[in-house]
Amino acid sequence: MKPIFGQNTANRYRLVLFSVISFALIFLDHRFDFMDPVRFTLSVVTAPVQYVANIPAQVASWSHSSVRSRSELEEENARLQSEVLVLKRRVQKLASTVAENTRLKELMNASDLVDDEVLIGEIIGVDPDPYRHEAIVNKGAGDAVFVGQAVLDAEGLMGQVIEVGPFSSRVLLISDISHGIPVHVNRNGVRAIAVGSGKLDQLKLIHVPDTADIVRGDLLVSSGLGGRFPKGYPVGVVTMVEHDPGQPFALVDAKPMANLDRSRHVLLVFSEESRKLIPLLSGVEAAQQDPAQSAPADPDAAETEGSDETPAANQEAADGE
């Protein structure tokens, strides 16, 4: 059988020559860039071959995706929809968490500015009655909360505690029509009384003389008069001042500094004055709960003492006779 490739001296020389040329081209291509145009031309020539070689794989993939059943597609669609809902819920929860962390940071920054000791609480409920502005916080008697305690948020004074339970307390907001707080203008010290108007974004200053130096934009802070609210906490900003020549008092409106309709976390303030009042308030509450403590401890003993005096008097009378 005759071999396909003949083995002779000429073929060996050709093989050696082409090998030397190949190694030389490889070396030159590695060290220099003059072969890039050749490589680019070869890539253009071989591109159709590559596309043709990839056709069987594309046909197989298309066939596999085309013959999938309707049930598999519906199942995959339902699974993807469920994943989208889960991811959307996580995004919403993340946004809520970020906002809550921001509010907590603001609250902690506000607590650093408060000289008195504070307790952080959370509003867990509000009064559904539109004519009563009250809120419920998750701190009660077990946390040493007491009636009359001042409540703040990150911006300013919110109200005071009016009812204390074992695990929660009720807070009366400063916007309630039954609430009043003594304030003074931070700029010049002019005193006034800020009362609620029944609107969460409005306070009214009563009995302000028409000649009082109060202008729009003045900051109102708690004056500390009466001992109920600590001194120096922001209450509101004056928004309107009207002077009526025929009236002895000016009409003054203010906007609360606290976010009464948005704050979730609050600060309950323990000032030195309030701590002094805790034992007194506890004693009053105990006396109200047990009226028998104000009566004699043993009424029978009192009767016995009175009865002992009667025989002694009778004996003296007998000796006199």
**What CA–CA distance (Å, rounded) separates 257 from 155?**
6
Q: Verify that 142 and 246 share a domain, yes or no.
A: yes
Total domain count, the chain? 3
Using CA atoms, how far residue 102 sits from 79, 97, 99, 158, in Å, is: 35, 9, 5, 19
Answer yes or no: is 158 within a domain: yes
pLDDT number for residue 313: 41
pLDDT number for residue 283: 47
Which region holds residue 148: left if phi is over 0, alpha if psi is between -120 and 50, else beta?
A: left
**Consecutive 10-residue averages of pLDDT for the chain (321 residues):** 62 84 81 73 78 81 70 82 73 63 66 68 91 94 92 90 94 95 91 94 93 92 86 91 87 94 88 55 44 41 40 42 36
Q: Verify that 86 and 32 share a domain, yes or no.
A: no
List 238's β-bridge partners, or say none: 254
Collect all residues with Cβ–Cβ distance below 8 Å to 134 and sequence separation of at least 6: 126, 127, 162, 170, 171, 172, 173, 176
Answer yes or no: is 269 within a domain: yes
**What CA–CA distance (Å, rounded) separates 295 from 298?**
9
pLDDT number for residue 94: 66
pLDDT number for residue 307: 40
Answer yes or no: is 82 within a domain: yes
Instruction: Compute φ and ψ for 155, nearest 5 degrees.
Output: -110, -35
pLDDT number for residue 156: 87
Answer yes or no: is 235 within a domain: yes
Q: Verify that 47 and 139 share a domain, yes or no.
A: no
Percent of the chain with pLDDT over 90: 32
Give the CB-side neighbour count of residue 134, counting CA atoms within 13 A.
14
DSSP state at residue 142: G
Answer yes or no: is 130 within a domain: yes
Nearest partner of 158 among 170, 168, 140, 167, judged by Cα: 170
Beta-carbon count within 10 A of 108 CB? 13
**Chain segment 46-62, per-residue pLDDT in tens:** 778 877 888 888 887 77
DSSP state at residue 57: H
Containing domain of residue 102, as a range? Answer: 70-113
At residue 144, the 3 state secondary structure works out as: coil
Q: Verify that 194 and 169 share a domain, yes or no.
A: yes
pLDDT number for residue 303: 40
DSSP state at residue 143: G
Q: Verify that 108 and 214 share a domain, yes or no.
A: no
**What CA–CA distance (Å, rounded) separates 150 from 275?**
12
pLDDT number for residue 300: 44
In the chain, how many H helices and how many E strands? 5, 12
Extract the tokens encoding 46: 């071989």
Pair 218, 183: CB distance under 8 Å:
no
pLDDT number for residue 90: 66
Q: Verify that 103 and 189 share a domain, yes or no.
A: no
Answer yes or no: is 133 within a domain: yes
Q: Verify that 195 and 226 share a domain, yes or no.
A: yes
pLDDT number for residue 67: 67
Nearest partner of 149 among 284, 280, 278, judged by Cα: 278
pLDDT number for residue 233: 86
Pair 190, 182: CB distance under 8 Å:
no
pLDDT number for residue 321: 36
Answer yes or no: is 150 within a domain: yes
Q: Full-prediction pTM beyond 0.85? A: no
Q: Verify that 152 and 261 share a domain, yes or no.
A: yes
